[in-house]
Homo-oligomer: A and B are copies of this chain.
């Protein structure tokens, strides 16, 4: 089999575009191949299976997270990770499944760990913060999806919605912010 005229980078570009259009459940290798006007087998030249391709997509989603910086504010880093996940449809689920299989680059954890570097257990706290952010973002995206198809009401008039407060309280606690007050 000859290598595809598409490189890894352009396949991931296409997968990310399709993810936004059709969502994760409908993002098949066949669909990506059709979009690129190649046979599915051409994709396997670059990626042994779909999970490895999705790991490339996950890395691209998290590329917006800043480089590790020990002087960074942990709250800002956490919001950068959250924003990256929310930028693409089903972004949290793509990154969650990649992390579950320990594929992809731990860019988010490294940035969180660096920002928490003053704490002795910054590595495990960074992993815990990442798991919290993934849970939070998955819940938000599932709710947004349900709203987009009209399955639930908009949150606009719902006073019980305090999602931002929950996120900031969680990150503050995990980052030890205010802990000695």
Contact = CB atoms under 8 A, between A and B. Distances in A.
A38 interface: no
A27 to B, nearest CB: 15
Interface stretch (A53-61, A63-71, A120-128): A120-128
Contact of A101 (B96, B131, B135, B151): B151
Contacts of A173: 125, 128, 173-174, 176
The prevalent SS among residues of A at the interface is helix
Interface residues of A, number: 38
B132 A96 contact: no
Interface string A140-176: 1011001000011000000000100111011001101
> How many chain copies?
2
A139 B131 contact: yes
Contacts of A129: 170
A138 interface: yes
Interface of A: 51, 96-97, 99-102, 121, 124-125, 127-129, 131-136, 138-140, 142-143, 146, 151-152, 162, 165-167, 169-170, 173-174, 176, 179-180
Given A101-B152, A127-B166, 16 more contacts: A96-B142, A100-B139, A100-B140, A101-B142, A102-B152, A121-B169, A124-B162, A131-B132, A131-B136, A131-B139, A132-B132, A133-B135, A134-B135, A135-B135, A135-B136, A174-B174
24 contacts: A96-B138, A96-B139, A97-B142, A99-B139, A100-B146, A101-B142, A101-B152, A102-B143, A128-B132, A128-B169, A128-B170, A128-B173, A129-B170, A131-B135, A131-B139, A132-B135, A134-B139, A135-B135, A135-B138, A170-B174, A173-B173, A173-B176, A174-B174, A179-B179
